[in-house]
Amino acid sequence: MDYKEKFSEDVGSFFRSPVREIFRKVDLNSIYSFAGGYPSADTFPLEEIRRTMSEVIDKYGARAFQYGATQGVPELREAIASRYGVGVERVQVTSSSQQGIDVCTRVLVDPGDVILTSEPSYLGALQSFRSYRADVRGIRHDQDIEIYSRNCEEAVERACRDGKKIKFLYIIPDFQNPSGETLTLQERQMLVGLAERHDFLIVEDCPYRELRYSGKAVPTMYSMAPDRVLHLGSFSKIFAPGFRLGWAIAHPDLLDSIYVCKQSLDLCPPVFDQYVAAEFLGSGRLDLNLAKSIALYRGKRDLMLSLLEEHMPAGVSWTHPEGGLFLFLTMPEGFDAVRFYDRALDAGVAYVAGEFFYPQRGGKNTMRLNFSFMDKERMVAGIQLLASLLRDELCAR
Amino acid sequence: MDYKEKFSEDVGSFFRSPVREIFRKVDLNSIYSFAGGYPSADTFPLEEIRRTMSEVIDKYGARAFQYGATQGVPELREAIASRYGVGVERVQVTSSSQQGIDVCTRVLVDPGDVILTSEPSYLGALQSFRSYRADVRGIRHDQDIEIYSRNCEEAVERACRDGKKIKFLYIIPDFQNPSGETLTLQERQMLVGLAERHDFLIVEDCPYRELRYSGKAVPTMYSMAPDRVLHLGSFSKIFAPGFRLGWAIAHPDLLDSIYVCKQSLDLCPPVFDQYVAAEFLGSGRLDLNLAKSIALYRGKRDLMLSLLEEHMPAGVSWTHPEGGLFLFLTMPEGFDAVRFYDRALDAGVAYVAGEFFYPQRGGKNTMRLNFSFMDKERMVAGIQLLASLLRDELCAR
């Protein structure tokens, strides 16, 4: 049977995640993988999780295995609300922060509506946006705020000229995926001002915010405009991605549409996992473990930066993230990171080509490197290998 | 800020689940609740789950807390494939079987496309269908297969006459929600033949299939037409709903669109929960526990039927389910179960008005009663109370 003719129009805009396709074909432990956004296995406190799970069974009994409220179990919503200083009526637990992105798009975007993003931006978000046939438009960042601001204004004006509705700006302000860069206070204020002037929303995605290794925290955009910004958080990087839990914080009227949508999406987030997260958070174990993760990742970031410094050939540059899981490499013009990928994988090292993160193509000469997943020994060998492959490639040109 | 003007067109078709709204307002344990589709808390084997969780941590370690494959972890996919006798390439794990329904609709239905359902049908499915602006058309069941078959043909012809595409027939063949009824072999064959003749798909939703208390199992529609039927299953009723795990079984080409969609929906199903389900299934604990649940529910169904027989006033009739969690009451014409609901709740007993399960209104004089959730003592008191309220209401007319 030919199923293609049966599919909805949306399916025509689906595209596969190149990252997930890599994982489908390659055993991550058999290669040097800078590809995924995986936390280090060393950050999962197995014994403390085992203990917490047992405590959850003692404390909540059958309730932990029953259906739960669509908004999330009260214990977790309250723990999130108190951690981030917001009213509990502004907290919706999501079944992963990817779901947060997806459900925002679902309730806000009709085919053809404009979503503004940074360029490059998170691949999973681009997948979701495209799947609803949004008109995704990237804005090039610039260190000079005058230029960045002009780029933003121009993107807005272009959308207006095209007769399009801008539904929201999607932004990862802290240690962005894939670039690793963090927006300054002034940049955040500029973006909030832009959204206010042109009356669109901001979806602020903050999965890495608490993984800061140096520098000082910058206020969230949500804190600047709590009725205009929908803030997304995740337990994946501060606890464990295997639980698939995140949260959305927003004005109750906006959250209500997400709540009703979530009823038909999956009724409620995983209940047992929510109690485990609530207990882990409430007992202070999460913060203790997070401090250890930060120390571990700080060391890995520093090592990665010094390895790049030591081994990368001339003409290659990279970002210097203050936190998160990624940094972004730029090779000389003309380099093609997608074409180079097969050679690298054959040699035993994986990355994600930067091009995939560009909403309207571009970034052919870039790649994203993850520094959280591998242990330090493998990171050393992996960067040496990647650097030597790059040296060969760049010399041959 | 007025968010309404920012919402997508889909939001205009969202509707709230009256069932979930009841749970939002009322503590289920403070009333006699025949409302939800909740399993009995007695069916959750807390100590065995605790042991299994500990075994999962020992066996899989950090892998149980890391990101997993979008299709589901191989161990669970294989366990499902072998349990139901299908190839593993035909199994996609879903984050709840509600997600299975939703994602099928997403990949198959454009606004205005027709979905055929039984009348009444599962509320969560109707919510999802409407949220994609499907044209949902109910088909009245009839004990006489000639009449039922004619009803089906007429629904198809009407859709064709209206120039509409029928995307699929959604059906719960075993112990239907809300009616409790089971389709005969002949009826299933008739429906499969209809789908083949008119070239539409069938989404067969089987969350209750393994909860059979009497009578003989009827083959699934998937077994009759494995390339035309998308089969949905759930761990919610045979294990525990708090894990939010289900599965979809279908032709790989059809499943592939769901796989790609799921990447942007939530990346992957909850990983730790999947390993727990896989271990519970593989070790035989699931089947042992299921046998106990069936014995418990059989007793509850029998008690419910005899209580109705004993206490219900004349003019009230009900279905006699061979399994599942529900039976369906029909009161005399003119009775309004939605209006009566407030009175019942004030008196301390909850049900779901049948009307909510009707895709095009109707069923005003019906209600769904759940017999799995409450213990037997509370069931006795609850039915006595409901019957006396009904007697008052029906006499007063």
Residue B23 pLDDT greater than 80, yes or no:
no
Q: In this predicted model, what pLDDT tens digit does every residue of B152-203 receive, in sequence order?
A: 999 999 999 999 999 999 999 999 999 999 999 999 999 999 999 999 999 9
Q: Do B242 and A69 touch (CB under 8 A)?
A: no
Residue A20 pLDDT greater than 90, yes or no:
no
Predicted ipTM beyond 0.95 = yes
Residue B28 pLDDT greater than 80, yes or no:
no
Q: Residue A29: what pLDDT?
A: 78
Q: Do A266 and B99 touch (CB under 8 A)?
A: yes
Residue B358 pLDDT greater than 80, yes or no:
yes
Residue B15 pLDDT greater than 80, yes or no:
yes
Q: Residue A17: what pLDDT?
A: 85
Chain A residues in contact with B63 (beta carbon < 8 A): 41
Chain B residues in contact with A67 (beta carbon < 8 A): 36, 38, 236, 241-242
Chain A residues in contact with B289 (beta carbon < 8 A): none
Q: Do A46 and B61 touch (CB under 8 A)?
A: yes
Q: Residue B36: what pLDDT?
A: 87
Q: Do A98 and B264 touch (CB under 8 A)?
A: yes
Cβ-count burial of A46 within 10 angstroms (0-12 exposed, 13-18 middle, 19+ buried)? middle
Name the residue of chain B whose CA is nearest to A125's CA.
Answer: B264
Residue B390 pLDDT greater than 90, yes or no:
yes
Residue A36 pLDDT greater than 90, yes or no:
no
How many residues are listed for chain B in this entry? 397
* Mean of per-residue pLDDT scores for chain B: 96
Chain B residues in contact with A240 (beta carbon < 8 A): 65-66, 272
How near does any CA of chain B get to the CA of A395, in Å? 38
Q: Residue B17: what pLDDT?
A: 85
Q: Please provide residue A76's backbone torsions phi and psi, each rounded to the nearest 5 degrees.
A: -75, -40
Q: In this predicted model, what pLDDT tens digit does every residue of B56-86 receive, in sequence order?
A: 999 999 999 999 999 999 999 999 999 999 9
Q: Do A14 and B260 touch (CB under 8 A)?
A: yes
Q: Residue A154: what pLDDT?
A: 98
Name the residue of chain A whose CA is nearest to B9's CA.
Answer: A110
Q: Residue B396: what pLDDT?
A: 79
**Residue A3 is nearest to which of B109, B253, B271, comparing CB atoms?**
B253
Chain A residues in contact with B20 (beta carbon < 8 A): 70, 263, 267
Q: Do B46 and A38 touch (CB under 8 A)?
A: no
How would residue A150 be classed by pLDDT, with cut points 50, 70 and 90? very high
Chain B residues in contact with A253 (beta carbon < 8 A): 3
* Mean of per-residue pLDDT scores for chain A: 96
Q: In this predicted model, what pLDDT tens digit does every residue of A182-196 receive, in sequence order?
A: 999 999 999 999 999
Q: Residue A28: what pLDDT?
A: 74
Q: In this predicted model, what pLDDT tens digit does every residue of B107-135 receive, in sequence order?
A: 999 999 999 999 999 999 999 999 999 99
